[in-house]
Structure 1
Amino acid sequence: MVQRANHYEAAFEEYLRTTRTAYVAVDERRRALLEDNSLKSMDFVVYSAGKTNLLIDVKGRQFPSGNEQTGHKWENWATEEDILSLRHWEELFGPDYRAVLVFAYHILRADLLDEFDAPFRHRDRVYAFYGVWADDYEAVMTTRSPSWETVSLSSQSFRELREPIQNLLEDTDSP
């Protein structure tokens, strides 16, 4: 188990341990060097009983984010580098691996728990984990901020593409 300062990643790792899912935590302190550039590391390699293993990058978000009046619920932004790196890792690992963005939502209000399929409690916080295949994300992502080089999905696209993480862990035979 890697020492994780990021509580979202720590919660997701505990989820994997609790569900007895085989995984390897990646040491993110070092970037992989490929040819003449570096590649952002993913967070976990998750092994499946099916034919497809998962390359996971965890994106921690509060739910809801912002304040009561202007806050969003389903924040799903990532950096362009997150997507490009995940897709590159997918190519390097080969056809038995598929990249996925896991959005780890820290649920801030108990009255919102009904919006989640399987809340997970870790260290006095409640989380929910949803995954989006990186290739599906990339196909419909739009630029969120050119200066920050961030991308996101529309609310409708995110609703259509997200899956509770347990579904992706159980059904990893799909292309």
Structure 2
Amino acid sequence: MKRNNLYEQAFAAWARRWGAVVLPLAEIHRQPFPNGPLKTPDFLVLGQGGPEGARLVVDVKGRRFGGTQDHPRSEWPNWCHASDLEALPSWAAHLGPSFRPVLAFVYALADHAVLPPGTPDLFRFRDQCYLMRGVDVYAYRQHMRPRSTRWQTVFLSRSDFRHLVRPFSWFLDDSLEHRTSADDDATPSEPFLPPPDMSRRRQEPAETNGQETARVRGQLE
């Protein structure tokens, strides 16, 4: 965990308020592995339920959603470095079979991006609204696509991301502790990346050129 990273701070504050135990790991620490040192994850997260609760190895990916009011964007960025997808499973295996590697996508929402009432895992932290979402690393690796060879980054298509992503609290439910990525296919499809509630759009003043203020639609199709 980086002390000056607001995305990581917001995630830790949200998870603790949810009831989880959050253990930050030092960025400078490198655990020796057979194939050499690997990137250290941001957190170990223990869900409710004591010894039987969920156990997660988590790396936080802070992303912005919505663009600007003049140039709104509807994409939910989900890219990460290939090294993250190598390190997290290795750490989980090192810690024990009960640990599960998860990418936490923490979205800072633009002010004009209005989500429906009841959207799960919304959290306001230091005057910024964040949406907490997670993807199982094993499932991510099965569907990932190359993004940048130079920077060694990968991503999921919109359809794959929509299928695989979950509210992060889903991973903290102790009843799902032993669920594998293969079991996720049995989970009913739900709008985990919700479109805006069009009936509750903010009423903004008209622009000086007579056009309406741009608003994020937030749809993934």
The CA distance in 2 between the partners of 1:97 and 1:148, in whole Å, is: 28
SS of residue matched to 1:113: coil
The question of whether the paired residues in 2 share the 8 Å contact of 1:51 and 1:96 is answered with no
Q: Which has the larger radius of gyration?
A: 2
1:94 maps to: 96
Identity of aligned residues (%): 32
The residue type equivalent to 1:46 in the other structure is V
Deviations 1:7-62 (A, max 9, x none): 00000010122112112111113332334621101111111324541101100000
The question of whether the paired residues in 2 share the 8 Å contact of 1:102 and 1:132 is answered with yes
The CA distance in 2 between the partners of 1:47 and 1:167, in whole Å, is: 13
The residue type equivalent to 1:105 in the other structure is Y
The residue type equivalent to 2:130 in the other structure is Y
TM-score normalized by structure 1?
0.89
1:56 maps to: 58
Indicate how the Cα distance of structure 1 residues 15 and 57 shifts in structure 2: closer, same or farther if over 3 A, else same.
same
The question of whether the paired residues in 2 share the 8 Å contact of 1:16 and 1:23 is answered with yes
| Structure 1 segments (4+ residues) deviating >6 Å | none
SS of residue matched to 1:29: coil
The question of whether the paired residues in 1 share the 8 Å contact of 2:107 and 2:130 is answered with yes
**How many pairs does the alignment contain?**
174
The CA distance in 2 between the partners of 1:107 and 1:172, in whole Å, is: 29
- Which stretch shows the higher mean deviation, 108-117 or 143-152? 108-117
RMSD of aligned residue pairs (Cα, Å): 2.2
- Which stretch shows the higher mean deviation, 112-121 or 82-91? 112-121
Higher fraction of strand: 1
SS of residue matched to 1:143: strand
Structure 2, gaps ≥5 residues long: 181-221
Question: What does 1:141-152 align with in structure 2 at a 5 Å threshold?
Answer: 141-152=144-155
1:113 maps to: 115
Q: Cα offset for 1:93?
A: 1.8
The residue type equivalent to 2:111 in the other structure is R
**Is 2:165 the partner of 1:165?**
no
TM-score normalized by structure 2?
0.72
1:5 maps to: 4
The residue type equivalent to 1:160 in the other structure is H
Indicate how the Cα distance of structure 1 residues 68 and 78 shifts in structure 2: closer, same or farther if over 3 A, else same.
farther
**Is 2:37 the partner of 1:33?**
no
The CA distance in 2 between the partners of 1:111 and 1:79, in whole Å, is: 27
2:106 maps to: 104
Indicate how the Cα distance of structure 1 residues 13 and 141 shifts in structure 2: closer, same or farther if over 3 A, else same.
same
1:15 maps to: 14
**Is 2:179 the partner of 1:174?**
yes
Structure 1, gaps ≥5 residues long: none
The question of whether the paired residues in 2 share the 8 Å contact of 1:54 and 1:98 is answered with yes
